[in-house]
């Protein structure tokens, strides 16, 4: 994934695409920050981790998309279409590096499968279900929507 980001950054530099280059640099900076944070634990002791894995990078990219969607809502309320367009363009670039998103139907099926696998029986198991989903489907599932599905499924059972 890092190689793909580096290659895309170089291509953007060569082509002179400043908007794309800026977004790719933001992604690389966020990854670098996460790498640095992973080197030490909460007490300041070295962890031996030099770089975060691709799963964590995917989670970071998903978080960046979520932040931009929240910004879009704010900008729409303020009638700032110029900023909405900028955020939408950044989302499109970030999503190029994310796996294909699951359809709502596939997401619901995955939720039901995980609930059955871990034998979840009530809302008290929601945390375990969400943790399993995040472990398996990072970058592929909208966990905000999935959370609602999990809650609905567990409250029925």
Among 9-13, 41-45, 64-68, whose mean pLDDT is lowest? 41-45
Q: What is the 3-state secondary structure (H, E, C) of the chain?
A: CHHHHHHHHHHHHHHCCHHHHHHHHHHHHHHHHHHHHHCECCCCCECCCCCCCHHHHHHHHHHHHHHHHHHHHHHHHCCCHHHHHHHHHHHHHHHCCCCCCCCHHHHHHHHHHHHHHCCCCCHHHHHHHHHHHHHHCCCCCCHHHHHHHHHHHHHHC
More confident residue, 80 or 125: 80
Task: Kindly report, residue by residue over 58-72, the tens digit of the pLDDT.
Answer: 889 989 999 999 999
Interval 77-92 mean pLDDT: 95
This prediction has a pTM of: 0.72
> Is pLDDT of 24 > 60?
yes
Average pLDDT over the chain, rounded to whole? 89
């Amino acid at each position: 994934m890092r190689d793909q980001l580096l290659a895309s950054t170089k291509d953007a530099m060569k082509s002179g695409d400043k908007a794309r280059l800026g977004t790719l640099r933001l992604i690389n900076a966020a990854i670098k920050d996460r790498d640095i944070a992973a080197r030490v634990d909460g007490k300041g002791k070295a962890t031996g981790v030099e770089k975060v894995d691709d799963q964590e990078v995917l989670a970071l990219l998903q978080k960046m998309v979520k932040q931009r969607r929240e910004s879009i809502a704010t900008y729409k309320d303020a009638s700032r279409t110029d900023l909405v367009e900028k955020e939408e363009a950044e989302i499109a670039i970030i999503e190029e590096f994310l796996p294909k998103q699951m359809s709502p139907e596939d997401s619901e099926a995955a939720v039901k499968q995980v609930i059955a696998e871990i034998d979840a029986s009530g809302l008290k198991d929601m945390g375990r279900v969400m943790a399993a989903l995040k472990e398996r489907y990072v970058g592929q599932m909208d966990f905000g929507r999935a959370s609602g599905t999990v809650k609905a499924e567990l409250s029925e059972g």
